[in-house]
Structure 1
């Protein structure tokens, strides 16, 4: 394992084999995001996306809360700081450039506004049983800008999505699990451990196969069924021309665990 650290308000990263762990660390302010942290999160996701040795990402947070949302005065008003992300980096909310690698997010405690949008920008969510979810932007006179307006729909369906987006209410881990926003609920304090276990299991599979699976699924979400069908030959070529495909077949013949290399 290797680790990188910087200032008090920060996004830290650790490397665990083929898993890049991305840690939100602004505990004194309930992990509220500053513009600088937005840049750091984008850089960390870009590192995950661009580094061949990193096959899976885990996004998590120190302390008792995932995030209380934005540090509002630093984003809006007379003292607002610039927070426009660079075009060449991965978008924190996956609205523009989206990470090609699978992302498992572990959440606990307060998961407000952008916290929900960040977890839904990933792929799998492990929630502690003490979570308090709330998409409350409209209570503040604004609206969700990080993708909640459509990702709630794709995960929960129209009725449940509008119920929480319109009420701006606080709801539990049990409710989030019931409507499909999270995939597992575990005792508080176990969420990061479980997310790392899930990531490690994913990393045992062929990374090219996993990445094209995500790519093809997104093709359906973005362009519909026929586009997803038409996309199959492209992903077949990438898989069948990989060394990992040959290793997968050989390991089956030899009745052993495959050793994939991402090539």
Structure 2
């Protein structure tokens, strides 16, 4: 996946395995600390996932021993001082915040984390859909120790997942916590022995990719709307979305495969 030497500014690798796109964070010499170039490349990889019909699910992972130590602050400081973002308008925002000018991801994303997962790393995994953590995980949202605030979604999603008190415990102290605590707080969905996290993420992603793509996207977006806008907003879409899905080729294939007692072959149409 990364046969050539990693450039000093780091890079994001991509590898399509059937319907699954592996997206790799690759700057292990710096604990995968993110530079602006890496952030832009990550957005480009997410955009590729959404735009290529053959791709149905993404898996975000990391090369080396750690997921990411977060932002490489010296490289990001000039952008932060100017109030700029490293991701150009029109690309999918890896943080999925819905800011004007950036696209939101529609297809599912599974994340495999290991070792150090600090600041941006937590925000990237919370912006994804399903997280598998190695049991050697070390997590910290430590912006308060650097005189800044977490603005990539942690203040929103940590409270939504874990409750306000649990979120503030870690947001205001910047302490380091382990994979068991991340699981307790619903920041991750599964903890596995170190070295097995990517395989488990791929297993989950492949299982998702086997389902009807239009139904998967619609289900994900409806669940996200329920969290962000409330149950009534999500329910208001039920009839129209279900009508569209029920008239798709995939829905017809689902019924045919049920009748014929065979595995369905979905085409995303």
TM-based fold match above 0.5: yes
Distance 1:3 1:208, change over 3 A: farther
Moved over 3 A (4+): 2-7, 77-84
Look up the SS of the partner of 1:125 in the other structure: strand
Number of residue pairs the alignment of both structures matches: 262
Partner of 1:195: 201
User: Contact 1:128/1:186 (CA < 8 Å) preserved in 2?
Assistant: yes
Partner of 2:215: 209
**1:107-126 to 2 correspondences below 5 Å:** 107-126=113-132
Q: Deviations over 1:156-214 (max 9, x none)?
A: 11121111111111000011011111011011111111100110111111111110001
Partner of 2:16: 15
Look up the SS of the partner of 2:157 in the other structure: helix
Give the whole-Å Cα distance in 2 for the aligned partners of 1:27 and 1:3: 12
Cα root mean square deviation, aligned: 2.0
User: Contact 1:90/1:99 (CA < 8 Å) preserved in 2?
Assistant: yes
Q: Structure 1 length as normaliser, TM-score?
A: 0.95
The match for 1:127 among 130, 133, 153 is 133
The match for 1:147 among 141, 150, 153 is 153
The match for 2:244 among 223, 238, 242 is 238
Partner of 1:60: 61
Distance 1:178 1:195, change over 3 A: same
Q: Which is worse superposed, 85-94 or 14-23?
A: 85-94
Give the whole-Å Cα distance in 2 for the aligned partners of 1:45 and 1:87: 14
2:92 pairs with 1:94: no
Give the whole-Å Cα distance in 1 for the aligned partners of 2:90 and 2:244: 24
Q: Deviations over 1:115-135 (max 9, x none)?
A: 000000000000000010000
Distance 1:6 1:19, change over 3 A: farther
User: Contact 1:220/1:228 (CA < 8 Å) preserved in 2?
Assistant: yes
The match for 1:176 among 176, 182, 207 is 182
Q: Structure 2 length as normaliser, TM-score?
A: 0.93
Q: Which is worse superposed, 222-231 or 34-43?
A: 222-231
